[in-house]
Amino acid sequence: MPTLLSIAAILGGFVLLIKGADWLVDGASSIAQRLNIPDLVIGLTIVAFGTSAPELIVNIIASLRGNADIAIGNIVGSNIANTLLILGVAAMLFPLRVQRSTVLKEIPFSILAALVLFLMANDQLIDGYSASEIGRGDGLILMCFFCIFLYYTFGMASAGKAEDLSAPKRSTLMATGMMAIGLVGLGIGGEFVVRGATQIAELLGISQALIGLTIVAVGTSLPELMTSVIAALKHKPDISVGNIVGSNIFNIFWILGASAVIQPLPFSAAINPDLLVVIGSAVLLFLFIHTGGIHKRLLFWRQRDGHIITRVEGALLLACYVGYVCFAALRG
């Protein structure tokens, strides 16, 4: 049946996306090490790109095919899943201590990214235009914001101590081959996911936006899920939180910006509630980190600060994600 083939295409595409991103990161990290690039810079750039590569490839293919709802829904849904689902699961496994720089700069920057996207996408609401879209000019502005974030990231890397996130050194030939195979896997996997998601939406008579916000978004967020959960189990919470917050910023400013430059993305006002969830989830994360400071300092007195996401707060984040998925499904 076409539906089973579409589901198989999506699942197979997710496997290719995840393995492709893994091989691309390993190969690029090995080459970067041979060029004596610091580990922290590798982690903040190559590894961050690798975990967001599925979203990037899916969005590029969706933009080229004119599937704007999947492109926008993928990014919006991925950011919601990152904050509510992945951080919720990670915090339930192990309470997450958040670095001061993440609290003061990166989380507010992720809130700014969501707000900027909301303002840029709503031409009808703000300017009274007959239709709304994220145009090429909007895309270029989003990418400029990402350049500012990248400048901040490299400045933090040069000032901070390195966290060894990179792969072991491999021969240049092997590393180049891994990068090439990874890129091919990403391309084929992205094509499978977009085609399968489009077919399922058509067969079931539901919107492409809903498929992008849920199935595609969760699937492309699997690398972030694995990275954050493994980091939490290894008691490395900085990686868990930094990976998610950085990915959310990368998704909006770079991936959605690049998608809009490739092909202007018509925006449906029906996605506005989901954009508000993106903003609300980022604000909720910010509040969770800042509330209950006294009892958190008592409970986690060995930590140098009280910026903690507890297991209870992780469960609340996860509950919010379940509620959001139910709302999205009922809305259709």
Domain boundaries, the chain: 2-331
CA distances from 40 to 20, 34, 96, 166, 170 (A): 22, 15, 20, 8, 19
pLDDT score at 159: 58
Whole-prediction pTM value? 0.79
Give the tens place of pLDDT for each residue, 7-45. Answer: 888 888 888 877 877 777 677 767 767 777 655 455 556
DSSP 94: S
- DSSP letters along 38-53, please? -HHHHIIIIIHHHHHH
Higher pLDDT, 228 or 298: 228
Give me the torsion for CA of 146, 152, 157, 159, rounded to 10°.
180
Give the tens place of pLDDT for each residue, 248-298. Answer: 898 999 999 999 999 999 998 889 999 999 999 999 998 888 765 444 544
Question: What is the overall mean pLDDT for the chain?
Answer: 79
Give the tens place of pLDDT for each residue, 43-86. Answer: 556 666 766 778 888 888 888 888 888 889 889 999 999 999 98
Q: Please enumerate in sequence order all residues whose Cβ is within 8 A of that of 157, keeping only pairs 6 or more positions apart, or say none.
A: 38, 40, 41, 44
Count of CB atoms within 10 A of residue 225's CB?
20
String of b and e for 304-323 (b: at least 16 CB within 10 Å)? eebbbbbeebbebbbebbee
H helices present in the chain, as ranges: 2-34, 39-42, 48-64, 68-80, 87-93, 100-101, 107-121, 123-127, 136-159, 172-204, 208-211, 217-220, 222-233, 237-250, 257-262, 272-290, 293-299, 311-331
Give the tens place of pLDDT for each residue, 124-149. Answer: 988 888 889 999 999 999 999 999 98
- Please, which pLDDT band fits residue 112 given cuts at 50, 70 and 90? very high
Write the class of the CATH domain 2-331.
Answer: mainly alpha
pLDDT score at 279: 96
